[in-house]
Amino acid sequence: MSIENRITPLKRLSGLRECISRNGFARILEAHSGLSGLVVENARAEVNGRVIEYDGIWESSLTDSATKGLPDASIVGNDSRAHTIDEILNVTTKPIIVDGDTGGEASQFEYMVKNLERLGVSAIIIEDKVFPKRNSLDGSARQDLEDPVVFSERIRAGKEVVINDDFMIIARLESLIAGAGLADALDRAEQYIHAGVDGIMIHSSDKRPDDILAFAEAYKPLCQRLGRRPVLVCVPTTYNTITDAQLVDCGFNIIIHANHLLRSAYKAMNQAAMAILESGRSLEVDPLCAPVAEIFVTVGADRINRKDRERADSRRLIESERNGAAAAPGQRR
């Protein structure tokens, strides 16, 4: 129930670092609304006799934009994004990582960081492409990389306004997406680590994980040489034959499943819309639909009904006691 998911911003903010410190990694799933946030919050599975769940929520620029019927091209403004983030925060307790696109210019990024930290967000990931960005999975789009010196300045600007050391700024490397190669990615990672970044995300649209794993292997001596190891992040959307456990074994600390709730919901909605048209009724759609009662339970309507009954019972009891007290003097005559 959404009303029962209560947590202070400070406690939530610290949750991501605590999870990584405790388990060595965090498994994150995308959400794009309050309801999808509740799906992530409540998901549990028993695997090999052990109950597992997601460790946090990814608030994605792609899925946030798509829910508004817009492309992921820096069109949805920060105020609109903040509204979606607040919807998810309002009904969940898990740590949230926000997709910050490019972060804007340095002064804009400062305000973005300040606001997200105030809300209790655990981390922001910004990508080293020029504004306005184009989605990394769009093979037909141009992918122009930002000057790493400019991007490093943006990182430093964000770090300067952070109050709580648990808030993380993570740099997303787009070198492999743009075709610049592994050496460019490692060079950028070194510059961003010098700038004070808390994490490095290496991104790839390849269907095989080879480039990602090569980067992870080269990341180890790089961090040893620099004397500091920011957390390593990946998004296995296209190279999804590799398991979370295998990625952890290769050194990844945060694994983000970045758009799957929206994509699966979109497919189901299309199937339902077509089935109603083709059948001339909604009966055939029932197997695709959750019962309305289940939705009521998820969002907490059953709790409201229970509270209504309890309050009605309480009012009746008070009224009965009041009537009994009023009748007592007449009984004594």
Query: What CATH number does residue 21 fall under?
Result: 3.20.20.60
Residue 313 lies in a domain: yes
User: Into how many domains does the chain fold?
Assistant: 2
72 is annotated as an active-site residue:
yes
- State the pLDDT at residue 73: 86
Given a cut of 60, whether residue 298 has pLDDT beyond it is yes
Rg over alpha carbons for the chain, rounded to the nearest Å, is 24
Integer angstrom CA distances of residue 268 from 261, 289, 290: 11, 9, 11
Residue 333 lies in a domain: no
Question: Cα separation of 183 and 232, whole Å?
Answer: 17
How sure is the predictor about 290, in pLDDT bands with cuts at 50, 70 and 90?
Answer: very high
Nearest Cα neighbor of 66 from 255, 253, 236, 262 is 262
- State the pLDDT at residue 323: 80
With contact defined as beta carbons under 8 Å apart, do 115 and 167 qualify? no
Instruction: Tell me, rounded to whole angstroms, the distance of Cα 249 from its chain centroid.
Output: 23
Residue 185 lies in a domain: yes
The CA-CA-CA angle for residues 52, 12, 86, to 5°, reads: 105
How sure is the predictor about 333, in pLDDT bands with cuts at 50, 70 and 90?
Answer: very low
Given a cut of 80, whether residue 308 has pLDDT beyond it is no
Residue 263 lies in a domain: no
Q: 321 or 297, which is more confident?
A: 297
Nearest Cα neighbor of 189 from 172, 212, 168 is 172
Does residue 272 share a domain with residue 157? no
The residue-averaged pLDDT of 183-195 equals: 99
The domain of 293 spans: 268-328
Nearest Cα neighbor of 99 from 67, 54, 61 is 61
Per residue in 107-153, pLDDT (tens digit) is 999 999 999 999 999 999 999 998 665 565 655 556 689 999 999 99
Question: Cα separation of 19 and 244, whole Å?
Answer: 16
**At which of 258, 278, 309 does a domain end?**
258
Does residue 283 share a domain with residue 244? no
The model's pTM: 0.91
Task: Name which of 31-35, 229-233, 320-324 the model is least confident about.
Answer: 320-324
Active-site residue (options: 55, 72, 166, 198): 72
- State the pLDDT at residue 136: 58
Please give the mean pLDDT across all residues of the chain. Answer: 93
Given a cut of 50, whether residue 14 has pLDDT beyond it is yes
Per residue in 55-91, pLDDT (tens digit) is 999 999 999 999 999 998 889 999 999 999 999 999 9
Per residue in 149-182, pLDDT (tens digit) is 999 999 999 999 999 999 999 999 999 999 999 9
Question: Cα separation of 156 and 223, whole Å?
Answer: 19
Does residue 280 share a domain with residue 253? no
Q: How many CB atoms lie within 10 A of CB 304?
A: 13
**At which of 232, 258, 284 does a domain end?**
258
With contact defined as beta carbons under 8 Å apart, do 203 and 209 qualify? no
Does residue 169 share a domain with residue 66? yes
Does residue 254 share a domain with residue 186? yes
- State the pLDDT at residue 265: 98
Does residue 109 share a domain with residue 27? yes
Pull the structure tokens for residue 195: 């700038």
Residue 62 lies in a domain: yes
